[in-house]
Amino acid sequence: MSDQATDRTVPQMITGRFQYDDAHTIERYQATDGYAALRTALQMHPEDVHAEIKEASLLGRGGAGFPAGVKWGFCPPGVWPRYFVVNGDESEPGTYKDRLLMERDPHQLIEGVLIGAYATGCAQAFLYVRGEMALAQERIAAALNEAYAAGLVGKDILGSSFSCDIVLHWGAGAYIVGEETALIESLEGNRGMPRLKPPYFPAAKGLYMQPTIVNNVETMANVPWIIRNGAEAYTAYGAESSRGTRMFAVSGHVKKPGVHEVEFGTTTFRDLIYGHCGGIRGNHTLKAFIPGGASAPWFYEEHLDLPLEAGAVGAAGSMLGSGAIVVMDDTTDAVKAAWRVVRFFARESCGKCTPCREGTSWLEKVLRRMLDGQGRPEDIALLLDLCDNISPSIAWPPKQTTICPLGPSAVSPIASAIMRFKPEFQAYCGGGDVPTSVTINGKAYLPPEGAPAGV
């Protein structure tokens, strides 16, 4: 199945309990090493707990891949109180892992948060769960109620001097709230619009302008395993730049779509798509795949042997993002798929920055016009011109004209689709050899064919 001949078994570090139907109960959790890591951590000095996570090189699993241990160190000394916030607002198209972790193993998340709050000196934690995820909210509420009753959360946890409330908070439907400063705005009771940077890190100034650690659900789910088994055991898995395991959701035109926890940084796209997921459905062939959520430029056949590692994927012109792989076979209409991705960004733009608010909705309208049979010869150049206005030079990684990456994120997938499937776009614009270049700063510009997203 895997290209690498390995004889060792990679542990299911965060999905191991999914085999039990009652994994969400405190009984099952405690019977399967649950809260052992919290007990261990409370015997350690908070700085040592922090050092262990840093040593493990645990990368953030929300999309940006920033090392959690480093982020935890950004809190300015002597500024109190600090807050711990978990980002459970999973909404990136194709991403399906945090909902599973919250529904199936909520105690694992709670334990991770407690250890994180202990290590960083946070006096209060908030679990921000996506509004639409009713079952996750129920499971977390029940788990918190059990954990409070067992003395595991709240005042003097397990008889120690560590006290921390965990408050279950939930959103009400807005993708942009996944951006950490927007999430903080939302947690303050405001419209979920990203904050102007600097300050770049909420760890310096976050909730109520106090130091705030914001981590993704999957990131925190890894913490109990690391403390239980040690950073050394953790770094025995994965590539040097990407330790441990990671969850990937493979959806779309594969025989067996599914969510898999695999070794991070060494597993390839081919292992996942053709191994775990059985390959392309029916007698079809691969047309394209999205390697890391809707914001990621598309990948093709020639990228299948790339490892699931941020550096390698980034160098090839896309991003690993949130572990969302969407596979498209040869029956897929590239223009339609591009339109659907752009419509998402147009609908979810918060409206704060003009290039994103106007640009994404223009892109959506032009693509919709093409699909409706009203494409004009100049439309491809117009699309690229719009892309350039939202993200100058359509560069990768995108250059930002906006406060947050949402608008520029819409550009790269479109540009990559236009370059790869030019004849399909041309066919919607009256066919023939319609212009596909655009003049930028007086220079005719055409993204090179080889690069998924421009220059």
Partner 1 sequence: MPRFTAENTILAKEIIARYPHPKSALIPLLHLAQEQDGHLAEDAMVHIAELIDHTPAEVIGTASFYEMFKREPVGDYLINVCTNIACMLMGGEELLHHLEDRLDIRPGSTTADGMFTLEDVECIAACTEAPCLTVNYRYFHKISTDEADQLLEDLRAGRRAHEIPKHGTLARVRQSIPADRRAGAAVPGECGQPVWMTPKDESEDAPA
**Of residues 136-195, those binding partner 1 (CB under 8 A):** 137-142, 144-145, 148-149, 151, 153-155, 160-165, 167-175, 186-193
In this chain, which of 6, 19, 27, 135 binds partner 1, going by CB under 8 A?
A: 135
> Interface residues for partner 1 in 54-83 (CB under 8 A)?
78, 80-81, 83
> Whole-number minimum distance, CB 15 to partner 1, in Å?
13
- Contact residue for partner 1 among 14, 86, 294, 419 (CB under 8 A): 294
Which amino acid is present at 114? L
Q: Say if residues 36 and 228 touch (Cβ distance below 8 Å).
A: yes
Is the Cβ of residue 142 or residue 233 nearer to partner 1 in the bound state? Answer: 142
Site for partner 1 in 247-276 (CB under 8 A): 249-253, 257-259
Binding flag, residue 130, partner 1 (CB under 8 A): yes
How many beta carbons lie within 10 A of that of residue 376, not counting itself?
A: 15
**Pairwise CA distance, residues 89 & 44, whole Å:** 31
Is residue 167 within 8 Å of 127, Cβ to Cβ?
A: yes
| Residue closer to partner 1, measured from CB, 143 or 438 | 143
CB of 455 to partner 1, least distance (A): 25
Among 35, 96, 225, 445, binds partner 1 (CB under 8 A): 96
CB of 169 to partner 1, least distance (A): 7
Percent helix, strand and coil across the chain, each to the nearest 5: 45, 15, 40
- Degrees (nearest 5) of the Cα angle 281, 62, 397? 85
CA angle, 427 then 428 then 432, to 5°: 35
Binding of residue 336 to partner 1 (CB under 8 A): yes
Q: How many residues bind partner 1 (CB under 8 A)?
A: 90
Binding mask 14-53 for partner 1 (x = CB under 8 A): -------------------------------xxxx-----
Question: Given the complex with partner 1, which of 262 and 438 has the nearer CB atom?
Answer: 262
Burial state string for 350-370 with b = 16 or more CB within 10 A and e = fewer than 16: bebbebbbbbbbbbbebbebb
**69 or 252, CB closer to partner 1?**
252
Binders in 358-397 for partner 1, by CB under 8 A: none
314 lies in the binding site for partner 1 (CB under 8 A): no
Interactions with partner 1, residue window 390-419 (CB under 8 A): none
* Per-residue tokens: 351: 């409206």
Shortest Å distance, C-beta 311 to partner 1: 25
For strands 242-243 and 245-252, give the pairing.
Answer: unpaired
Stated as kind and residue range, the H or E segment containing 83 is: strand 82-88
Q: How far is residue 331's CA from residue 285's CA, in Å, rounded to a whole number?
A: 9
In the set 337, 384, 418, 419, which binds partner 1 (CB under 8 A)?
337
Classify residue 87 by its DSSP letter.
E
Which positions from 205 through 234 interact with partner 1, judged by CB under 8 A?
208-210
Nearest approach in angstroms of CB 128 to partner 1 is 10
Residue whose C-alpha is closest to residue 315's, from 453, 108, 179: 453
Q: Which helix (H) or strand (E) holds 88?
A: strand 82-88
| Shortest distance in whole angstroms from residue 83 CB to partner 1 | 7
Q: Does 285 bind partner 1 (CB under 8 A)?
A: no
Q: How many whole angstroms separate alpha carbon 92 and alpha carbon 301?
A: 23
- C-alpha distance from residue 76 to each of 82, 211, 373 (Å): 10, 7, 57
